[in-house]
Amino acid sequence: MIYIALVLLGLALALFAIIYINPGPRIQQTEATAWLRSVPIAHRGLHDEKAGIPENSLAAFAAAVDQGYAIEMDLQMSADGKVLVFHDYTLQRMTGVEGKVRDFTWEQLQELKLSGSNEGIPLFADLLALVGGKSPLLIEVKNEGAVGALEQGVIDELKNYSGEFAVQSFNPFVMSYFYKHAPSIVRGQLSSNFKKDSLVWWKKFLLRNLLLNFLSKPAFISYEYGALPSWFAHRVRAKGLLLLTWTVTNPQDYARAQQLYDNVIFEGFYA
């Protein structure tokens, strides 16, 4: 019995050591990441459904530009290979239509309206044309399937874009693709405590503790607000990584978050 207890204690200590030293390779920040410290980031644009400005719409992105905010958005791919801006994997919440985004062609998707407004689902290319370098972009690449097509599509769209931007994903293999195929693009690793996710426990453990950062090699971490222990935050900073948090929904939490994080992704108020 004592032997088993000692083994378990040893394993626990080993895991703690791995987590403690892990948050990724030590990096040196460059001018390319300076905006990640200084420009407030509007979550899915500066949206306000009561005003007819739904999330991830061109109207929300234009409003963010007008206020001088950086823009966070979500990218997926249609059935016919178009890179478009939409958060949920399913269409129901934002359009009232049943089905997954990836099962619809762009021709079908462009007929849909967001949250009963006059705004449609934008192409990533339309977003880039609208912003035109006037605001930095924080681009979440949403991919739970095979890595390659969506990621390369994003890279291709960004090749001739002259504004500031960074990419991020919950999926470390997505960021690994960017590292291998477009290493100059600033990368970030998204994470949370994953309490509400249906992932198996060991995947939650790896992702929650950033144990796959050796694959994504991020310049910054974007962690769910209220879910990151302060000691772990200090370890992240010790590696030279920038630390962002999402999503803060009121000015009081925004002020508190600024004490620990380099920047805050917000919605529902003016930062």
The residues annotated with a catalytic role in the active site are 43, 87
Token pair 């980031």 is found at: 41
- d(C-alpha 174, C-alpha 75), whole Å: 12
Paired tokens of 66: 């007008």
Residue 271 and residue 246: Cα distance in Å, rounded?
13
Sign of the Cα pseudo-torsion (105, 106, 111, 116, in order): positive
Kindly tell me the burial class for residue 242, based on how many C-beta atoms sit within 10 Å of its own C-beta (0-12, 13-18, 19 or more). Answer: buried
Q: Which of 169, 204, 205 is nearest to 186 (CA)?
A: 169
The C-alpha angle 86, 92, 98, rounded to 5 degrees, equals 115
Side-chain half-sphere of 114: how many Cα atoms within 13 Å?
24
Positive or negative, the CA dihedral 229, 251, 41, 82 is: positive
Q: Tokens in use for 129?
A: 């044309």
Q: Say how many Å lie between the first and final Cα of the chain, rounded.
A: 56
* β-strand partners of 120: 113
* 242 beta partners: 220
Q: Quick one: DSSP state of residue 122? A: P
Say which residues have a Cβ less than 8 Å from residue 90's Cβ, sequence separation at least 6.
98, 99, 100, 101
